[in-house]
Every structure is written in structure tokens, then in C-alpha cells.
Amino acid sequence: MELTTFHGRESELDRLRHEVIRARLVTVTGTGGVGKSRVAARAAEQLKERFSDGVWLVEASASHDPQLLEHSVVAALRLTDHSGRAPLTTLLEHLAHRRLLLVLDGFEHLVEESARLVRELLRRLPGLRVLATGRRPLGIAGEQLFPLAPLAAPDAARLFTDRAAAVRPGFTLGPDNHEQVADLCHRLDGIPLALELAAGRLRTLSLPQMLERLDDRFALLTGGTRDAPPHHQTLRTAVGWSHELCSPRERLLWARLSVFAGAFDLEAAEYVCSGPDLPAEQVLDVLAQLVAQSLVTREDAPSGVRYRMLDTLRAYGAYWLAATGQTRRLRERHRDWYTGLVSWCELEWFSPRQEEVALRITDEFANLRAALEFAVDEDDDPRHGLYLAGTLWFCWVGCGRIQEGRHWLERALERERYDPVSPGGDGTGDSAVRLRALGLAGYLAVLRGDTVTALAALHECLEEAERTGDERAIAYSLLRMGALALISDDVRRAEELLSGALERYAELGELNSHVLLGRVELALALAFGGDLQRAIALCEEVRRECAEHGELWARAYALFGLGFAAWTQGEPARAGALLREGLAISAGFRDLVATVLMLEMLALVAVSEDRAREAAVLQGAAGRLWPSVGMPLFGSRYFNAPHSECERRARAALGEGSYLEAVREGAALTPEVAVERALRPGDGGPAPAGGLLPLPVEPAATPHPHPFPGEGDAGYGRGIAS
């Protein structure tokens, strides 16, 4: 009989009951404390009507002598036999014509004996079904595995609240503690045992105090109930029970895998975790054993098969890794692997594998952060941090992480100022690493609309590049200064700088995403200056180059330029088609800059097609995205002109109140919904095919009724509207 409330697991219970009805042997697997016993007991209770001879529980965890396992089953079934026969014989005789469900709970420490017994019983007793629970499978024919995951967030919060109210009467989940409870449940991986132990700590600690102490969760989470199994009295003993059941090589790999943050792939584990005591070719077999014991989970990600360890298990592994004195060596190997991965990704970015690179970077981002953290803050050589942060330009710019990119670049450059790298006089030495990071930091400031910071960084980069003779850094600095002039509305200066930079790249024989984007920026400068035909020719040239090299990211910007030109020429339908094609690409890459620019232009297309309300909705959606990019429309009158023209027309068509209502509706849309809506043609037809990754945006603030203050250039707005 259950003494505490059961929370959640409705879908798991439905599926488990179905499996027990379908298969003769079902094994519920999962990490320690995840709730295997409780779920199996609940499912068995709900199935008892199907078994005329009952449902019987065998607590295998209480038996430590392998030779007593069969006796434990006999005792659990309340069988008596004074003949002196072997217990297996007694079981076979008494159960020969019975129809029952045997629940074998917690067999993992007696897996071989349990497997042998269950195999024999099922072979000889046709009316028997077995529901087993353990941290690993029994591994016999006909076994149906049922992996049990930790509780989902809502159920975890309900469980914690219920158990907390038992020790602190009156405790409820409300606005004042909702975020703290959610944080606690997340950090404890939704493991029911950990949540129950945490709730018990509320006798003496507040929620904030407990959250502060969770870094040492094993010291904090103790004091389980007296009737709990010994290995469930504390979180340390629960996890330690699994550790004791591992072989020495499994414990070694467990400890070494703790250096990974989030999920990892097999190749990474083989490189980072191998050594003389664990050759790379043996890592797969040992990893498979950790997966079998529910210490590591396998998952299918867009970039392929990956593996993950719960934070609680990772923390336990990190404790043992530190005890061996190998933490720093493993973190260096982790840094080296991800540095190599980043280098490969950058090379493949300008290729038909660009989408694959974007997916891989998304899947690996937690590990990239961990590598950056070590390289920037703890590494003996500051070049590692500079190289990683600078080489990841395609992640910061192309995959929508501009603010985070600035964060890492600023930290890496600040570290280098106190521990400078040695200069390389030919531009190919260590100074090139610093200049690349410095130039990129300047460009990210450009995209954020931070002109002062951008100008300082780019001028410093140019001066040092000229002093060291680094031609690539000179070209890059000039290119990004041209982008800065463009958003600063100095289109003549932008044309001069961008043209000069592109000539330098041509002399170097370089063609890459930077060069193609620079050509689009030059095209925009020409268009803003009135030379629309040259602008169109440049964008068409970029589109052809992109098709030849399999480059999609820069293609989206070329499509934006062509869409802008088509609208300016009075072809809104053609402009809409070009912009929707570009938006599908940019949103797929999570590129916030291109995405929000496309939304702004598609709003203008909508109002030109007499869809004023839809235009206002798209303006509101764009307003939600801009804070995650930087200054709305870069603070530029040229970039702001389409927005101002769209707003003028939509207000006139809708009236003030209806316009503001539509803007608020757009601001309330999630970015993904807004993009999907914008991708639908004006006739309501289907959007272009392809899934969208979640866009990494800041939480939406309360929408301002006029999200883009400033009138822009009204004269220019009238010009392009004609």
C-alpha cells in the first residue's frame, strides 16, 4: 500500500501495462532513484485483475547472497516446502498451472543469478509473466526493455511541492517560488529520490539556501526516510550503489565522461577518454555497458547518435576524476577535441555541408561553452581561448549568438592583455590569432549597433595588421569598417571601404562567406546611394557563387538585397517570393540579423499588397526580435526607411487603435510562429518546406506601442515607395 502520493507517469504507466500484457518479460531500467520500483508497483497493481493467481513482489535488492535468490522468491510467494528439495523445484511444482505476475525488484547486483532464474521460470511456466526493475537489463531472450526517464518538469515540481508540504505544512507552489522550484528540479535532473531528499531539507533550509548549496549535492541531499532501502537513504549512496556495481574500467570511463557538458558523440569520447589504461578501441564496449546500466543514455540528434549523462551522475564522476588527479588533463583533451572540431566546422562552413555544420554546432554548443570556459579562464596559454572564440565566428554571426560571441571574445582579449601572445612579424604567427579575434569583436559590435566599440576595435585591428603585415587582417578590418559605415548611413564611405577590402581579398585569391557577405553589403550601399542596377548585378553574382559552392547563409543576404530591389522597382510579389526564400534559409540557420531584416521587408511587401493588418503583425514580431540583435534597424535611417514607410501606410489603412493592436499581437508571437506566418504567401498557400530550429532570442518584453522610435528618413521612404 502506497504511503505517499504518486505523481505523473500516466503515459509511462499506460505503455508499461501494454508491454506487460504483450510480452512475458518486461524490464524497467533507469538510473538510481528515478522511480523504477514505484512505477512497476503501480503498474502491477493496475494489472492484478488480469492474473487469477495474483501479483507477487520479490524485493531482490534485500538479498545480497546470490545463493539465496531462489529462497527469496519462494518466501515472497509464501510457499512452504519442508521436503528439503531445491527451491527452484518447489517453484516449478507449485506454479506449474498458475497464472500470475512476478515483480522482481532491484536485481542489478545479482544480474547473472536473476537472469538464470527468470529464464528457467519462463521456459517452464507458461502462465508466468515477469516485470523486473533494475539499472541494467537481464539480457535474456524475449526481454522487452522499458527505459524510465526522470520526471518531466511539471510532474517534478508537483512531486517536490507535495513532499515539501509534508515537512513544512502550508508550503505551496506560487509566483514567489515558482522559478526557484523549477531551477531546483532542473538541477536535480527530475530524479524523484533527489527531489524527495531536497524536500526533506526544507525542515532546516530555505529554497534559496538549498539552491546555493546544490554544487555539493551529495553532502546536501541526505536523510531519507527510515523505511527507505539503505541505498536510497542519501543521494550519494544511491549513486554510489551504481558505482559499486561497475567494473574498474566502467568506473574509469564514468569519471572521464564527466568532463563533457551536455551530450557527446562516440568519436569525442574515444579521443578524450582514452589512454594507456583504456585504449580508444575499447571505449565503445565500455560505453555500451554504461548505457546498459542506465548511467549514460543514448539519444538521436540532428547531427547523429549522441550520449548524455545526467548532471547528478556527472557530478559523481567528476568527484572521482578529481580524486585521481586527472581533471586538468582530461579538460585539456576536451579542449583539444573541440578546437579540432571547430577548425573542421569553419573549413566546411563554405561548402555544401554548411547546414550539417550548423546542426553540429547546435548539438555541440554545451561542450563548446565548456571548452571556451577552460580555454579563456584556466588555460596556461591565452592563444587557445583567442583561437576558439575567433574561429567560431560562423556560430556567433551565422547561428544567432551575437551577444554570447561578444562575451567570449571580450573575455579572451582581456585575458590576452594581461598575458600577451608573442607577435608574428609575417602575419602568420600568434598575432594573427589575436587580430582575428579583435576584428571579429569589432564586427559583432557593428551588428549590435555599438558604433563606438566597433570603431575602436576595428581601428586597433587595422593598425596592428598593418604593422605586422597581416594582409588578411587588413582586408577583414576594412571590410567590417565598410559595414560600420553602411549602418552609420555613410554610404559613400561604405562603398569605398567595401570595394577596397574586396579588391584585397581578390589579390589574396580568397573567396569565402566573408567575401560574399561583403559583396552584398556593397550592393546595399550602392542601392542606398541610388545605383540599383549595380546592386542587383552584385547580388545576382553572389547568388551564382553561392550555388556553385553550396553556400546558403550568404545566399540569404543576397536574396534580401534582391528582394529590396524588387520592391523598390514596384514588384511586391516578386520581392515577397525572394524574401520568403531568404527567410526560410536564415531562420533555419538561426541567423537573427537576416531573419529580422526579412521580417521587416516582408511587412512592407504585405502593406503593398493591401494586407495592412498582417504588415503590422509582422512589425510587432520583428520588434520582439530586435533586442536580441541590438539596436533596432542598427539606428540607420536607410535600414529604417522600409519600416517607417510600412508603418505610415499601415496606420493610415487601419487607424491608430487597430494598428497598435496588430503590433501587440505580433509581439506576442513566438519567433518560430512569426517566421512560419511570414513564410506563407499572401494568398494563404503553404509555407516553404523545411523545419525551423528554435531561434535564440531574449524573453519578450511588454511591447511598446511604437517599438521603433525615430522617423527615419521620410524623404527616402517616399522615394522608395514611388
Per-residue 3-state assignment (H helix, E strand, C coil) for 257-276: HCCCCCCECHHHHHHHHCEC
Do 645 and 717 contact (CB within 8 A), yes or no? Answer: yes
Q: How far apart are CA 403 and CA 334, in angstroms?
A: 24
Predicted pLDDT of residue 240: 83
Give the span between the Cα atoms of 544 and 550, in whole angstroms: 10
- Residues 618-665 pLDDT 10s: 999 999 999 988 889 998 999 999 999 999 999 999 999 999 999 999
pLDDT score for 698: 47
pLDDT of residue 682: 63
Provide the grid cell at 64: 545480497
pLDDT of residue 218: 79
pLDDT greater than 80 at residue 687: no
Q: Does the structure show a pLDDT above 70 at 124?
A: yes
Per-residue pLDDT for 235 more than 90?
A: no
Cβ atoms of 631 and 596 closer than 8 Å? no
For residue 373, count other CB atoms closer than 10 A to its CB. Answer: 17
Q: Which of 224, 301, 288, 287 is nearest to 257 (CA)?
A: 287
Residue 324: which residues within 8 A CB-CB, separation 6 or more? 255
Q: What is the mean pLDDT of residues 679-683?
A: 73
Question: How would residue 239 be classed by pLDDT, with cut points 50, 70 and 90?
Answer: confident
* pLDDT confidence tier of residue 8, bands split at 50, 70 and 90: confident
The pLDDT confidence band at residue 197, using thresholds 50, 70 and 90, is confident
Which of residues 90 and 233 earns the better pLDDT score? 90
Name the phi and psi angles at 83, rounded to 5. Answer: -80, -15
Cell of 621: 514580431
**How would residue 363 be classed by pLDDT, with cut points 50, 70 and 90?**
very high
How far, in Å, CA of 153 to CA of 150, rounded?
Answer: 9
What per-residue confidence (pLDDT) applies to 715? 27
- The torsion angles phi and psi of 143, rounded to 5 degrees, stand at -70, 130
Mean pLDDT of 429-454: 92
**Where is average pLDDT lowest: 61-70, 167-176, 360-369?**
61-70
Model pLDDT, residue 230: 55
pTM over 0.75, yes/no? yes
The pLDDT, as a whole number, for residue 5 is 63
pLDDT, tens digit, for every residue of 451-473? 999 999 999 999 999 999 999 99
DSSP conformation class of 397: I
Whole-number percent of the chain with pLDDT over 70: 90
- 3-state SS assignment for residue 198: helix
Residue 710 confidence (pLDDT): 31
Task: Report the alpha-carbon angle 702-397-463, nearest 5.
Answer: 120
- The single-letter DSSP state of residue 149 is P
Q: Report which residue type is found at 216.
A: D
**Residues forming a β-bridge with 144:** 26
CA gap 557, 672 in Å, rounded = 20
